[in-house]
Amino acid sequence: MKAVVFGASGYAGAELVRLISGHSQFELVGVSGASNVGMALVDIYPHLIGTAAAELTLVDSTSLVDYVLNNAIDAVFLALPNNTAVEIVPKLLDTVRLIVDLSADFRLRDAALYERHYGFIHPRPDLLDVGVYGLCELNRSQLVGAKLIASPGCYVTAATLSLYPLIDERLISDKSIVVNGVSGISGAGRQRNVENLFGEIDSNVNAYGLSGHRHSPEIEQNLGATILFVPHVAPMTRGILTTSYADLTLEGLDHLGFTINGELERSSTAISYALTAKLEDFYSKDTFVDVLPTGQSPRTKSTLGTNRALISVTFDSRTKKLVSLCAIDNMIKGASGQAIQAANISLGFAEDEGLSRLGMYP
């Protein structure tokens, strides 16, 4: 199948190029990159040397749209800034078999949220119901045959995977969930910002988006819950770790076979094991989600270069709080790898085609 990538000069776009180059069913035939028009991909990303994609020349988005409209292209991947893909998708939706958008343009069901959280009035709210949300572990059946896929946010993926099964079985309260997220600097993109300089990032961890991060409504949409989300950037290139805190409900305790009494503190380990078992059961058929044994914490390093999500859960009897953690590679499971995974499902390929579970270490 012939594929093109819009935004191939950015980090997520470059990962799409790399993954498509190793995919047995895709042939990459066109790429765009607004700030690098006229350059060959290999001149920007030397690691692509030796691949068929290396010598492709970056064109502007308008030219690539025209190319798609005038050639038999099967799959379009968009790794563009927010409020950009929404102008391109309507032009191509009836022409190609599949469009996968990595921006936020089609993730939210409520069009009003775009003005509030992304600063623009959504020009095509009619397409919000057309796009299928691309979190594969939750929407696998809906993705089969999908024409437009809205690939989830990186923080959102980690937070949702670690919390959704617990919400779904009413084990935790859907009120006052706190999600702390830590990301590598690649999540900020390839822009030349002072904040991205080595001297600013090295030996420095800071929180941002304190007035309400734009990923918050997406997490709430997935969970049907109220959450407080606080993201942080850490001095690493790739990786996301979310640590989420929630109250275990009385109904949840009963469902797990426990009651609140003087023995609850002694039951802390047993409750943690029971919660872990619930997660293991929920993700038992998922190729890319691994639930760690009780007491183990997921590490971002363990997901480096993979499409895996590592999850663990524990219960703190003193505070009656549940702690659920998830680690992913923000550029793969949090972006380009998940987009390929969703495309595989839509097009009927093996779900793990072109994707790796085996990471790089150290």
**Residues recognised as catalytic:** 154
Q: What are phi and psi of 142, to 5 degrees?
A: -70, -25
Q: Which residues pair with 328 in a beta bridge?
A: 240, 309
| Bond before 165 cis per omega within 30 degrees | no
Amino acid letter, 255: H
Report which of 302, 273, 308 is spatially closest to residue 287, judged by C-alpha positions.
Answer: 308
Q: Which residues pair with 30 in a beta bridge?
A: 4
Sheet with 2-6, strands from edge to edge, namely: 58-59, 27-32, 2-6, 75-78, 98-101, 148-150, 132-133
Amino acid letter, 27: E
Report which of 59, 63, 146 is spatially closest to residue 100, judged by C-alpha positions.
Answer: 146
Q: What are phi and psi of 34, to 5 degrees?
A: -55, -40
Look at residue 70 and give its three-state secondary structure: helix
Q: How far apart are CA 357 and CA 362, in angstroms?
A: 16
